[in-house]
Structure 1
Amino acid sequence: MARVLRYIEYFLGRLLYNVKGHDSLLFTKQEPFKAIPRNIDVVAPEIGPEGAQMGNEYSMFGGSKFPELTWSLAPQAGSSILAKDEIKEYILICEDPDAPIPNMVSLHGIYYSIPPEKTHVASDDISLDSTVSVKSANHDNGARNKAKWLKGGFRLGKNALGTVYGGARPPVGHGGHRYFYQIVALKEKLDTSRLSPVATKPEILDEIRGKVVGWGFWYGVYENKW
Structure 2
Amino acid sequence: MPTADRPPLPHDFLRPVPSFSLSSTDVPDGGTLAQAQVYAAGNTSPQLRWAGFPDGTRSFAVTCFDPDAPTGSGWWHWVLFDLPADLTELPAGAGSGVFPGLPEGAVHGRNDYGTKDFGGAAPPPGHGPHRYVFTVHALDTDRLGPDSDASAAVIGFHLGAHALGRATIIAEYENH
TM-score normalised over the length of structure 2 = 0.84
Cα distance change on mapping 1:191 and 1:218 into 2, 3 Å: closer
C-alpha RMSD of matched pairs (Å): 2.3
Structure 2: where are the runs of 5+ without partners?
none
Cα distance change on mapping 1:127 and 1:109 into 2, 3 Å: same
Give the conservation status (yes or no) of the 8 Å contact 2:139–2:164.
yes
- Return the match for 2:110 from 133, 139, 158: 158
SS of the aligned residue for 2:36 comes to helix
Cα distance change on mapping 1:56 and 1:127 into 2, 3 Å: closer
Tell me what 1:23 maps to: 8
- Return the match for 1:216 from 158, 167, 172: 167
Give the number of aligned pairs.
Answer: 169
TM-score normalised over the length of structure 1 = 0.67
- Tell me the distance in 1 between the aligned counterparts of 2:167 and 2:133: 10
SS of the aligned residue for 1:123 comes to coil
- Tell me the distance in 1 between the aligned counterparts of 2:77 and 2:127: 18
Alignment of 1:55-134 (within 5 A): 55-73=34-52, 82-83=54-55, 86-101=56-71, 103-127=72-96, 129=98
Please list every run of at least 4 consecutive aligned residues from structure 1 whose deviation after the TM superposition is greater than 4 angstroms: none
Give the conservation status (yes or no) of the 8 Å contact 1:65–1:167.
yes
Higher helix content, 1 or 2: 1
Tell me what 2:17 maps to: 36
Q: Percent identity between the aligned chains?
A: 23
Tell me what 1:5 maps to: none
- Return the match for 1:184 from 120, 137, 152: 137
- Tell me the distance in 1 between the aligned counterparts of 2:144 and 2:32: 37
